[in-house]
Structure 1
Amino acid sequence: MQHNKIFIIGLTTLVLFASCGDSKKEGNAAINDKKTQLEKLKSEKEKKDQEILKLQEELSKLDTSSANPAKIKLVAFAPIVMQNFDHYIELQGKIDAENSSYIAPRGMGGQVKQVLVKQGQIVRKGQLLLRLDNAIQNQQLQATKQQAQNIKTQLALAKSLAERQQNLWNNGIGTEVQLLTAKTNVTSLENQLGTIAEQVKLAQEQLNTANVYSDVNGVADVVNIRVGEIFQGATAAGPQIKIVNKSSLKVIGNIPENYLGTVSKGTPVVVIMPDINKTYNTTVSFIGAAIDPLSRGFNVEAKLPSDPALNPNQLALIKVRDYAATNTIAIPLKTLQNDEKGKYVMVASNEKGKLYARKRVVTVGLINGDVIEVKSGLKAGEQLIVEGYTGLYEGQQLKTSAQ
């Protein structure tokens, strides 16, 4: 009896699995049938749409008297002309001064005794800016000068003795050894005097390092030093004295590395300063030789004219030309439309004194602002519809505000 129950349960399970399998197959078949029907209907619709457009076009040509004024579309058009087209890379940059100088001591630096410049002051190249403590250098200089004076005194005495010894030798008095010794003393002291003279120059130069001068003409943009502080040129907070020369400015930007082959020295650049509402046309003057590992770009620089309105670290919009075409066709981007077959525009065709809309499938290139280059599909002289193009169909009759 127990065996009969197990057999019945197993048989029931098999029946259920078979039913599920059949249901799944039937469901897949139904989906495939629906897809096939959908594709067929789409194909028929596309064919019908083409037939309708063709009939509308033929009818508008053959039976112009039956044209419905309500279907005549008001448009505006402009002639297509050959022109030059440029494409620009847009990036953010900043203004920098080519001759900015971070003033540093010529020696080890030292304690400031006198500050001779104020922030914002115009300075000249070679102008004294700071005096540092020079007590030790001055002592060294005076000691060296004293040594030089002692050697000069000894040299004068040695020369006098050598002359006397020479006179005695000429008169047959004394020995040759005494004469040679006297001359050797003179030569030795002359050599010592030459050495000490160089030491005097070195001590004088070390003393001069206590004077800090500007190495460029410009404006003292940063003066962050006071009497009693230690001047060393720069600290963790930045430079202690910075001189900016605004007569030679440049703009700096960073271009993505994929544009490396399209930008070179001399490439046209447009610099836009939105804060002061000014634009400058210039060219690339420098291209970085290495790719920045963080930004994955390379630096470019372009020189700017001297302008009081420009200041270092001022933000700028940089447009670098990476593509240029001559005698090409460019149209307003807004006139470009899309359908299942691709991109197209509408043109106005004058046929037997009447205007009709004609579709032109186009191949496009790069975009520059609100203008796009057209590689193929249009010819110079055609009338591009620039207003009222939305909803136009092939062969639709047109009119303009002048009609």
Structure 2
Amino acid sequence: MNKLLTIVTIAAAVLLTACGNGVKDSKGDLNDKKVKLEKLKVEKSKLEGDIKRLEEEIAKLDPSLQKDKAKLVAVAQVIQQDFTHYIELQGRIDASDIVIVTPRGMPAQVKEIYLKRGDFVKKGQLLLKLDDAIMLQQLDGLNTQLSYAQNIYNRQKNLWDQGIGTEVQLITAKNSVDGLEKQIATLKENWKTSFVYAPISGIADQVNIKAGEIFNGVTANGPQIQIVNSSSMKVLTDVPENYQTRVKKGSQLKISVPDAGIDSINAVISVLGSSITSTSRAFVTEAKIPSLPGLRINQVALVKIKDYYSPNAITIPVNVVQTDEKGKYVYVMVKEGDVMKARKKQVMVGENFGGRVEIKGNSLTSADVIITEGYQVVYDGQVVTTDTK
């Protein structure tokens, strides 16, 4: 034990001397300092080896002393289980059917409004009555002309039946009647456009029109009438372009909407955007979801996209993985003789999610016991214990 203390004292003296010389030679040549640093590292490594060898010799001579020095740690069995990785993003709720109502004909002044915001409307229900005064006047004029033309045609036909007049006169009178009838039919169809009907069933989400205003569907302030069919909802998600090889059509989703009290909705990507926006550098995905109470358009949704799955994977807590010059490693507890020791194991890590990381290859097995607490202060070969007494 005195020999061990002597070596430790020498090591401390060497390090203190090196530090002192470093201060004095702070203006010295950089290469000289690098050489000194490498020399000290070699000496440190040799001292650590001597310390470890002496501890092992002491343990053989006095096992009870080594047990008294055991480092208290917490451990956990390595778990072999199905491992899934998700990409966590933020999406928004939208409706599959959102329709902006527009006039079927020319924009016109609103005479009557038959709905208000929030009303449920059925497909084909009358929403607005537009000004039709001019068309009705035109229709009256055409009907008068048609009546006159039919009278001329009937007289011309009676004369033709009696052998009086020419065929050209009869055909001209008939063409006049046919032309007026077509004009009237066309005008009646145009007149029907003064009645605005609901194109789909749903909720009148926006009604921004008043009697006397011109109805043209959309203004600078947005839609004048917008109907939302909330029976079919969807989630839109902007996915960063660096995930484009990992997100596919048919990828499984887990969706939650905290503001609506919805914890989990299972869905799949049904639409995959084919372009990347220049501003956000992302592409849009779409997934259909059921219409649930509390869901509203543009509501925030938390979206987890499943992009990796490994059955029967070896997983450990991600926080126990450490890094050195050789790569990633963990400490495992193994029994050597009558004592338990911490042993350093290099590992190859894969994906991590939910606080756990997958271990690739055969670096760990389900039989291994990893150190989960105290791993920061143990070294390879140190005696450890889980006994708190």
TM-score band, normalised by the shorter chain? 0.7 to 0.9
Query: Once the two structures are superposed, what CA deviation does each residue of 1:230-271 show, in whole Å capped at 9, x if it has no partner?
Result: 212111111111111111111112122222222121111222
Match of 1:71 in 2: 70
Out of 351, 370, 376, which is 1:390 matched to?
376
Out of 364, 367, 381, which is 1:378 matched to?
364
Match of 2:154 in 1: 156
The amino acid of 1:84's aligned partner reads F
Match of 2:326 in 1: 341
Distance 1:77 1:150, change over 3 A: same
Cα distance between partner residues in 2 of 1:307 and 1:391: 52
Distance 1:194 1:78, change over 3 A: farther
Cα distance between partner residues in 1 of 2:144 and 2:293: 54
Match of 1:20 in 2: none
Out of 119, 126, 129, which is 2:127 matched to?
129
Out of 292, 295, 319, which is 2:277 matched to?
292
The amino acid of 2:232's aligned partner reads S
Cα distance between partner residues in 2 of 1:58 and 1:256: 58
Give the 5 Å matches for 1:17-36.
30-36=29-35
| 1:146 counterpart SS class | helix
Identify which range, 113-122 or 276-285, moves more after superposition: 276-285
Match of 1:317 in 2: 302
| 8 A Cα contact 1:73 1:397, kept in partner | no
Out of 272, 289, 305, which is 1:304 matched to?
289
Deviation at 1:124, TM superposition (A): 0.8
Out of 229, 240, 252, which is 2:224 matched to?
240
Structure 1 position 255 matched with structure 2 position 253: no
Distance 1:62 1:225, change over 3 A: farther
Normalization by structure 2: what TM-score?
A: 0.83
% identical equivalent positions:
40
Cα distance between partner residues in 2 of 1:348 and 1:288: 50
Match of 1:119 in 2: 117
The amino acid of 1:36's aligned partner reads V
Distance 1:39 1:110, change over 3 A: same
| 8 A Cα contact 2:69 2:383, kept in partner | no
Cα distance between partner residues in 2 of 1:292 and 1:107: 35
| 1:246 counterpart SS class | strand
Query: Once the two structures are superposed, what CA deviation does each residue of 1:138-164 show, in whole Å capped at 9, x if it has no partner?
Result: 122222333333333333334433333
| 8 A Cα contact 1:77 1:348, kept in partner | no
Cα distance between partner residues in 2 of 1:201 and 1:51: 108
Give the 5 Å matches for 1:259-274.
259-274=243-258
Structure 1 position 220 matched with structure 2 position 204: yes
The amino acid of 1:246's aligned partner reads S
Gaps of 5+ in 2: 1-24
| 8 A Cα contact 2:97 2:229, kept in partner | yes
Deviation at 1:123, TM superposition (A): 0.7
Distance 1:121 1:380, change over 3 A: same
Query: Once the two structures are superposed, what CA deviation does each residue of 1:158-217 show, in whole Å capped at 9, x if it has no partner?
Result: 44333333xxxxxxxxxxxx68x34x5555544444433332221112111111111111
Query: Once the two structures are superposed, what CA deviation does each residue of 1:367-394 show, in whole Å capped at 9, x if it has no partner?
Result: 3232222224222332233334332222
| 8 A Cα contact 1:82 1:380, kept in partner | no
Cα distance between partner residues in 1 of 2:354 and 2:151: 85
| 8 A Cα contact 2:78 2:365, kept in partner | no
The amino acid of 2:153's aligned partner reads L
Cα distance between partner residues in 2 of 1:126 and 1:39: 86
Distance 1:72 1:259, change over 3 A: closer
| 8 A Cα contact 2:201 2:229, kept in partner | yes
Root mean square deviation, CA, Å: 2.8
Give the 5 Å matches for 1:270-285.
270-278=254-262, 279-285=264-270
Give the 5 Å matches for 1:40-79.
40-53=39-52, 56=55, 64-79=63-78
Normalization by structure 1: what TM-score?
A: 0.81
| 8 A Cα contact 1:80 1:382, kept in partner | no
Query: Once the two structures are superposed, what CA deviation does each residue of 1:88-121 show, in whole Å capped at 9, x if it has no partner?
Result: 1x22221111111111111222111111101111
| 8 A Cα contact 1:85 1:330, kept in partner | no
Query: Once the two structures are superposed, what CA deviation does each residue of 1:335-362 show, in whole Å capped at 9, x if it has no partner?
Result: 2123343321122224457533222111
Query: Once the two structures are superposed, what CA deviation does each residue of 1:295-326 show, in whole Å capped at 9, x if it has no partner?
Result: 22211111111112110011122222333333
Deviation at 1:292, TM superposition (A): 1.0
